[in-house]
Structure 1
Amino acid sequence: MQQDKHPDYHPVVFRDRAAGYAFLTRSTADSDQTIEWDDGETYPVVDVEISSESHPFYTGKARTVDSEGRVAAFERRYGGG
């Protein structure tokens, strides 16, 4: 196997701001921000918009989409029927 071909694989904290949930895993993602974890160590932290804690598929909480309002806005903007 060739050396220096693989990216650095290290512990990283992923933080879901919407759900207020964070988890520690290993990843190649990197960040300038750090966070002190429960074990007293400091790890890079990556903020994500959605994770299994906030995704409707995993939580069972479906979001309703205002499709009627979106259609009306589209018609107002572009002059539809």
Structure 2
Amino acid sequence: MKKGIHPEYRPIAFQDSSTGKVFVTRSTATSERTVEVDGVTYPLVVVDVTSDSHPLWTGKQRVVDTAGRVQKFQEKYARFGGRAVRR
């Protein structure tokens, strides 16, 4: 590997925005925010979904509706009476 051309790969903390759980792993991500975990300060990156909140791992379905996308979809396909469109 050439020196000086790759981003720094270091320990970093990620936080699930919906559950608040924080876990430490290694990454090249950067952040101005920091958090202290077990007496050590790490850069903090907040993410929308982790294994702590993902339906596959939790068994619970949740809808993430940003900018009314679910409502827009329902309005768009309401004219089909809830049936799938076949070609």
Flag whether TM exceeds 0.5 (same fold). yes
Structure 2 CA distance for aligned equivalents of residues 6 and 75 of structure 1 = 47
Please show how residues 40-55 of structure 1 align to structure 2 within 5 Å.
40-55=39-54
Q: Give the Å deviation of 1:49.
A: 0.4
Identity value in percent: 43
Summarize the Cα distance change of 1:68–1:46 in structure 2 as closer, same or farther, 3 Å threshold. closer
Q: Which TM-score applies when normalising by structure 2?
A: 0.70
Summarize the Cα distance change of 1:75–1:24 in structure 2 as closer, same or farther, 3 Å threshold. closer
Structure 2 CA distance for aligned equivalents of residues 55 and 7 of structure 1 = 29
Q: What is aligned with 2:5? A: 5
Aligned-pair Cα RMSD in Å? 2.7
Counting matched residue pairs gives 74
Instruction: Please list every run of 5 or more consecutive structure 2 residues that lacks an aligned counterpart in the other structure.
Output: 64-69, 81-87
1:32 correspondence with 2:32: yes
Aligned pair partner of 2:76 in 71, 74, 77: 74
Structure 1 CA distance for aligned equivalents of residues 77 and 59 of structure 2 = 33
Q: Which TM-score applies when normalising by structure 1?
A: 0.74
Q: What is aligned with 1:22? A: 22
Instruction: Please list every run of 5 or more consecutive structure 1 residues that lacks an aligned counterpart in the other structure.
Output: none
Residue by residue over 1:31-51, the C-alpha shift from the partner in whole angstroms, topping out at 9 and shown as x without a partner, is: 00001112x111100000000
What is the one-letter code of the residue matched to 1:4?
A: G
Structure 2 CA distance for aligned equivalents of residues 49 and 62 of structure 1 = 15
